[in-house]
Structure 1
Amino acid sequence: MSRKHGRRKPMAEINVVPYIDVTLVLLIIFMITTPMLQTGVEVDLPQAESKTVESEGDGNNPPIVISIKEQGQFYIKSDSQDDEPVLPEEINSRVAAILINKPKTQVLINADKGVSYGTVVTVMAALKNAGVPTVGLMTKPEEK
Structure 2
Amino acid sequence: MNTWQNDNEDDGSVTGINVTPLVDTALSLLLVFMIVTPIIMNQAVKVKLPKMANAEAVQPTTVSVMLQKTGDIMLNGKPVTHAELRTKLAELVALARERAEDPAKPKIQAIIAADEEVAHGSVMHIVDIVKEMGVTEFAFNIKRVEKVPSP
TM-score, scaled relative to structure 2: 0.49
Give the Cα–Cα distance (whole angstroms) in 2 for the partners of residues 61 and 104 of structure 1.
10
2:108·2:137 contact (CA, 8 Å) conserved in 1? no
> What letter is aligned with 1:89?
A
Give the Cα–Cα distance (whole angstroms) in 2 for the partners of residues 87 and 61 of structure 1.
20
Give the Cα–Cα distance (whole angstroms) in 2 for the partners of residues 123 and 62 of structure 1.
18
Give the Cα–Cα distance (whole angstroms) in 2 for the partners of residues 63 and 141 of structure 1.
21
CA shift in 2, pair 1:132/1:62, >3 Å: closer
1:73-129, Cα deviation, whole Å (9 max, x unpaired): 11000xxxxx11100222122111011112212111110000000000001111111
Count matched residues.
Answer: 80
Which has the larger displacement, 121-130 or 132-141? 132-141
- The structure having more radius of gyration, on CA atoms, is 2
CA shift in 2, pair 1:62/1:128, >3 Å: closer
1:72-91 → structure 2 map (5 Å cutoff) = 72-77=71-76, 83-91=77-85
For residue 113 of structure 1, give the secondary structure of its aligned residue in structure 2.
coil
Q: What 5-or-longer segments of structure 1 have no aligned partner? A: 1-59, 78-82
User: How far does residue 134 in structure 1 lie from its aligned partner after superposition?
Assistant: 2.5
> What letter is aligned with 1:110?
A
Q: Quick one: higher RCO (CA 8 Å, sep 6+), 1 or 2?
A: 1
> What letter is aligned with 2:139?
G
**What percent identity do the matched residue pairs reach?**
25
Give the Cα–Cα distance (whole angstroms) in 2 for the partners of residues 71 and 61 of structure 1.
26
Give the Cα–Cα distance (whole angstroms) in 2 for the partners of residues 90 and 134 of structure 1.
20
For residue 92 of structure 1, give the secondary structure of its aligned residue in structure 2.
helix
TM-score, scaled relative to structure 1: 0.51
Matched with 1:116 is 119
> What letter is aligned with 1:137?
F
1:16-31 → structure 2 map (5 Å cutoff) = none
Give the Cα–Cα distance (whole angstroms) in 1 for the partners of residues 146 and 60 of structure 2.
30
Give the Cα–Cα distance (whole angstroms) in 1 for the partners of residues 117 and 74 of structure 2.
16
Matched with 2:91 is 97
Matched with 1:132 is 135
2:61·2:107 contact (CA, 8 Å) conserved in 1? no
For residue 64 of structure 1, give the secondary structure of its aligned residue in structure 2.
strand
